[in-house]
Amino acid sequence: MKKYLHIMCYVTLGFLFVTQTVLAESQFQEIMKKRGLTEEDAIAALKVYNPSGKHDEYYVFVGGGQSGQVLVYGVPSMRPLKYIGVFTPEPWQGYGFDTDSKEVLRQGNVRGREINWGDTHHPALSETDGKYDGEYLFINDKANTRIAVIDLKYFETSQIVVNPIFKSTHGGAFVTPNTEYVLDTCQYAAPLTNDYYPIEAYQDVYRGGVTFWKFDRQKGKIQQKESFSLEFPPYMQDLTDLGKGVSEGWAFTNSINSELYTGGIEKGLPPFEAGCSRNDTDFLHIYNWKKLAQLAKDDKNIKIINGHRVIPIDVAVKNSALFLVPENKSPHGVDVSPDGRHIIVSGKLDTHASVYDFNKIMKLIQNRDFEGKDSYGIPILDMKKSLYGQVEVGLGHLHNTFGKEDGTIYSSMYVDSQVVKWNYKELKVIDKIGIHYNVGHLEAMEGKSADPQGEYLIAINKLAIDRFLPVGPLHPQNNQLIDIGGKKMKLLLDMPIPLGEPHQGASIRASKIRPEVRFIMGTNSRTGKPHVGKTLAGQEKIERKGNHVSIYATVVRSHINPERVTVNKGDHVTMYITNVERAQDETHGFTIDHYNVHTSLEPGETTQIDFVADIEGVFPYYCTEFCSALHIEMMGYLLVKDPNKNYEWIQKTKMQSLSPEELQMEYKKIRASNKATDEVIQSLFFFLEEKNYTKYTTVKNLVDDAKDQYAKIDLEREKSAKAYQKNDINNAILFENMIWQYMIKTADSAIRAKDLLINNIATPKSESAKKGEIAFREGGCSGCHVIGKISSGPDLIGVLKRHRNAQQWVAEYIKDPQSKFNEPYMKKLIEFFNLKMPNQNMSDREIKDIIEYFKWIDENADLF
């Protein structure tokens, strides 16, 4: 008999399992059919979908092109995470609208001129031993010859440096394997001084070059005094890469104008594009940065141009630190393999990719085996003798990125609109995939580091054409995610970028990035140091010195202190604002209407705003981030008066006021509600203490925040008591109101802490109970039932014990509530709540799951 029962159980279970799978499958089919998806589409969707709360595996940073910003998104979901303001003002972050960030942005002034945009191309992550370490990101501005430093502790721009000698750059930012230097290479040649020379002086005076920005990792800053440049002939240098492993200490830069052509289409001469591609080859520049860094330290090796140390070509040549080797004409990308031995040059106008062998190059240099010299005296190596080999990859080869398996490289074919996977050691093509459309850069995960991860590849395309809903003639950009984990490349997802044209991308494992979630109290986020205007709660003040007014303000849910500031027209106003919150994500914004100032204040941050109060009037100021239920009340007034005017008005409006009895009643009412609220808070704290909340860091942070809020109540109590003693009932009521505000904020954090704690310590939910919880929420049950509380419907703890044969009873009741309404117990309940439970049309499966969820609740009844 027993055995028979067992078999019955298996049969039923098996049956259930099968019906469930069939059900899921038919649902799948139905959705696919409805949305017109193929099986392959559905698989792609599964590979990129992240349910709410699940994080991505990689960060990707891409240059924001003409937006002058950096875009950050996650892979594989391709969900955007942040735009980092770099060369362009960015109001959300207050970037360019508060004094501290303006100081950074204005470091980017060029020859005294404010420049408020940039053309960001190549982000570079800081490296240790050629591997990404997740500390800093560097980004170039092709248009205005600048490099910026982004501190990945805060994801904020902390420094901008302007190239002192180049009028155009492109080959930046690229870092040495331990981030000693950030390289930025000249693109369009020009005189290195700021003087005029006619175009006829091109060969003699115009120059290219490469700048080595010295990076101080401890300070997180580029040291301009210790930086230097190497002069190049005006070959119009393009991209660069640094040697690593065997080739560490060397760098490689290609170029596009060995012809030294100077254009002249307006004079009937052939245009640049023709003149620059006349020769069959251009020059790859090979130079030893370690040697150059030594040379630059000695004054006799350099000349000073615009206050900057420059090593002339002849000094580099004399010290065997600079060589050339021909490369197929008008190349674009140059990329050093993860082990440093192979150097791959993309032949934009040639169907061949060229693989140079560093060992061969070194041998030729050691034997001084040169094919000649260029007109600037630089030794030229023989191309054939330097090559490891060439592979026919396709048309319009622009960029490369490396895969995980040895020898694997992915290359973009702009003209063919393809990504080609090939092996640079075996010199053979492995796979090709079509791209929509015209791919430029491409980035396999950590594909330019010494430790490529493979898995995914991003095609950073130049055209989107018909991929997205049309939004007028200016189309979004398209970044495409490709699965490279298998044998064949598979396209997974398109992501429109509505921002600017991203060029290069840099990706890194999420585990390597360790950003802060709050600042140490009073930090200037742009320097990482304590802000001079750091103000703690209770230290708020307004100071005047002559016509300079300084305001030391704080912001916290949900008020700005001070709330009224009166100044004279013409005063210089400095406002220091500190966000004294400690809770994660409790950001406040701050603006004064009509004064073009804005800042974002993350928890613990202090920022400064400066302006001249040059227009008279009344200017509300307010918090710009929806930070709490009373966010809209988070405001104040700047009042600017003209000291030479008399202001008069006659008071006409009389507000109706409350009688003393009414005031007393209101006072009693709010006192009673504060008492009741406090009891709830005490029970929350009691629960948290009893369950040792300090063991769980995130819970502890929330409780700390709650206690911070609660600690503010004492002072308000005193004020309320004082007002009451003076018979100032009106203000006593307002202070009691403030107490209530703090209590609500306390309860808000404490309830979140409690929920989190319950999640941590409750017995684990079975799969079925998990589904039951979802069904309970999404099916509408939670609209009336709150676990652990009587709300619009009864508490459901113990519901499985309230009836005879309770599980069956509950199941029947959910299935058809009406059938039970006449039972005496139910009649009472319906009367009490004045509500009848509606039929939510739950399936049998869902009902079963919900009962499992109820069982879990009963197991953990003491937690609610």
Q: Is 348 in the site for ligand K7E (CB under 6 A)?
A: no
Name the minimum Å distance from CB 577 to ligand CUA: 11
Bond before 558 cis per omega within 30 degrees: yes
Q: Is 143 in the site for ligand CUA (CB under 6 A)?
A: no
- Among positions 166-205, residues that touch ligand K7E (CB under 6 A) are 170
The residue of the chain with the least Cβ separation from ligand K7E equals: 121
Q: Is 189 in the site for ligand CUA (CB under 6 A)?
A: no
Name the minimum Å distance from CB 708 to ligand CUA: 16
Task: Order across the sheet with 146-151: list the strands.
Answer: 120-128, 131-141, 146-151, 156-162
CA distances from 489 to 107, 199, 284, 861 (A): 44, 48, 31, 52
Name the minimum Å distance from CB 208 to ligand K7E: 16
Query: From CA 702, how far away is CA 586, in angstroms rounded?
Result: 12
Q: Is 497 in the site for ligand K7E (CB under 6 A)?
A: no
Bond before 437 cis per omega within 30 degrees: yes
Q: Are 172 and 120 in contact (CB under 8 A)?
A: no
Q: Is 634 in the site for ligand CUA (CB under 6 A)?
A: yes
CA distances from 690 to 168, 574, 687, 795, 808 (A): 66, 48, 5, 23, 36
Tokens in use for 253? 């830069």
Q: What kind and span of H or E run contains 847?
A: helix 844-859
Tokens in use for 672? 């009673």
Residue nearer to ligand K7E on the CB measure, 182 or 239? 239
Residue in this structure with the two tokens 């840099």, named with its chain if needed = 506
Tokens in use for 102? 């303006």
Residue nearer to ligand CUA on the CB measure, 626 or 825? 626
Tokens in use for 415? 């003209």
Q: Is 631 in the site for ligand CUA (CB under 6 A)?
A: yes
Q: Which does 504 bind (CB under 5 to 8 A by kind): ligand K7E, ligand CUA, none?
A: ligand K7E
Residues in binding contact with ligand K7E, number by CB under 6 A: 11
Name the minimum Å distance from CB 580 to ligand CUA: 12
Number of Cα atoms under 13 Å in the Cβ half of residue 623:
30
Name the minimum Å distance from CB 440 to ligand K7E: 5
Name the minimum Å distance from CB 561 to ligand CUA: 12
Q: What kind and span of H or E run contains 564?
A: strand 564-568
Name the minimum Å distance from CB 115 to ligand CUA: 33
Rounded to 5 degrees, φ, ψ at 113 are -95, 135
Tokens in use for 686? 């009691």
Tokens in use for 387? 């090559």
Q: Is 588 in the site for ligand CUA (CB under 6 A)?
A: yes
Of 101, 150, 93, 100, which is closest to residue 601 (Cα–Cα)? 93
772 secondary structure, DSSP code: H
| Choice from 393, 623, 699, 757 touching ligand CUA (CB under 6 A) | 623
Site string for ligand K7E, 222-241 (x = CB under 6 A): -----------------x--
- Among positions 707-766, residues that touch ligand K7E (CB under 6 A) are none
Region binding ligand CUA by CB under 6 A among candidate stretches 424-432, 467-475, 627-635, 772-780: 627-635
- Among positions 68-87, residues that touch ligand K7E (CB under 6 A) are none
Residue nearer to ligand CUA on the CB measure, 327 or 708? 708
- Angle of helix 729-761 relative to helix 713-725, nearest 10 degrees, comes to 160
Name the minimum Å distance from CB 95 to ligand CUA: 19
Residue nearer to ligand CUA on the CB measure, 408 or 606? 606
Q: Which does 398 bind (CB under 5 to 8 A by kind): ligand K7E, ligand CUA, none?
A: ligand K7E
Site string for ligand K7E, 363-402 (x = CB under 6 A): -----------------------------------xx---
Of 506, 457, 460, which is closest to residue 484 (Cα–Cα)? 457
Name the residues that contact ligand K7E, by CB under 6 A. Answer: 121-122, 170, 239, 332, 398-399, 440-441, 503-504
Name the residues that contact ligand CUA, by CB under 6 A. Answer: 558, 588, 623, 625-627, 631, 634
